[in-house]
Structure 1
Amino acid sequence: MLVIFTVITYTNRDIPALGSQEKPERVVHLVTGEFKATLPDGKVIEAYRWDPGTIFVHAGEKIKLSMYGVNGAQHPFVIEGTNISGVVKKGSETLVPLQFNKEGVYRLICTTHADIAHNGPMIAYIVVD
């Protein structure tokens, strides 16, 4: 009995107590990506993006964005409709805790690549229902 009690005690430390209303924070992983192509005239074109490009969350849900820089030296960003901003650097992870209480679509925008003229638009959509 002592062995069983010890095993249960030490293996279930991260399991919430029965009746607990708190859900663990969900981690959503994004990476920076780049598409590059050469046109028939030899001109090189490229575009940057967040991958995945759309994230779905529930209103009130606690999430953490884990953004990893793969392509491009750095990507300064804002989340439209919030006061959240930051930078994702190549080879580094940027963590952003989030909780949206209002339904809607929030855009994660790289300010360096905000439109076609600047190898974008590098925009991900956070859909809150």
Structure 2
Amino acid sequence: MKFYSISKRRFLITGLLMVVILTAASLWYLSNRNDYPTVSLPGGKAQVFQLVTGEFSSELPGGKKIEAYRWDPGTIVVESGKEVELRILGVNGHEHPFHIEGTNVTGVVKKGEETVVHYTFADPGTYKLVCDLHETMEQNGPMIAYIVVQ
């Protein structure tokens, strides 16, 4: 029976080589795992975005309760001239009537329901998705999402 012996130097070189390979593979994997096509879609298909209504609440030291509502995500980027489909799920708050500034889009998002909006933004710019009930801090807002059209 033969025994194979490995010198200390060969063992260290092999170990170092394995660490370098694993590090390179990990970096490659992590750098490529968040590549999602969100703007350029083939052949006129709608750009689909999922949004939800959210609420933050807290209590101040004096016992006063404060709340703030928001859309999540707070900013989306879309391509001009292509149809956009916003699928908005009502999670917090009874209902949120809304409009998109600079367009004729209006609607209502109700708790537990999904509201679907279709629109094609012709002009680049930033459009605000605004909840009509929570436009200011006094109304537990501002509940605004930004639609960036490129």
Task: Report the TM-score range of the alignment, normalised by the length of the smaller protein.
Answer: 0.7 to 0.9
CA distance in 2, matches of 1:23, 1:104: 20
Q: C-alpha offsets along residues 17-67 of structure 1, whole Å, 9 cap, x if unaligned?
A: xxxx72321210000000000000000000000000001001112110000
Q: 1-side partners of 2:133 and 2:146: how far apart?
A: 17
Which of 21, 44, 52 in structure 2 is aligned with 1:31? 52
Structure richer in strand, relative to its length: 1
Q: Does 1:108 align with 2:108?
A: no
SS in 1 for 2:44: coil
Unaligned runs of 5+ in 2: 1-41
**Matches of 1:39 and 1:85, distance apart in 2:** 35
Of structures 1 and 2, the one with the larger relative CO (CA 8 A, separation 6+) is 1
Residue matched to 1:125: 146
- Higher mean alpha-carbon deviation, 84-93 vs 23-32, is at 23-32
**Structure 1 residue identity aligned to 2:87:** S
Q: Equivalents in 2 of 1:44, 1:101: separation in Å?
A: 42
Aligned residues: 109
Please state which structure has a larger fraction of its residues in helix.
2
| Residues in 2 aligned to 1:36 and 1:101: alpha-carbon distance in whole angstroms | 37
Q: Counterpart of 2:62?
A: 41
Residue aligning to 1:74: 95
Q: Tell me, which stretches of 5 or more residues in structure 1 are unaligned?
A: 1-20
8 Å CA contact retained: 2:48, 2:85: yes
Question: Residues of 1 paired with 2:45 and 2:147: CA distance?
Answer: 19
Provide the alpha-carbon RMSD of the alignment.
0.9
- Percent identity over the alignment? 57
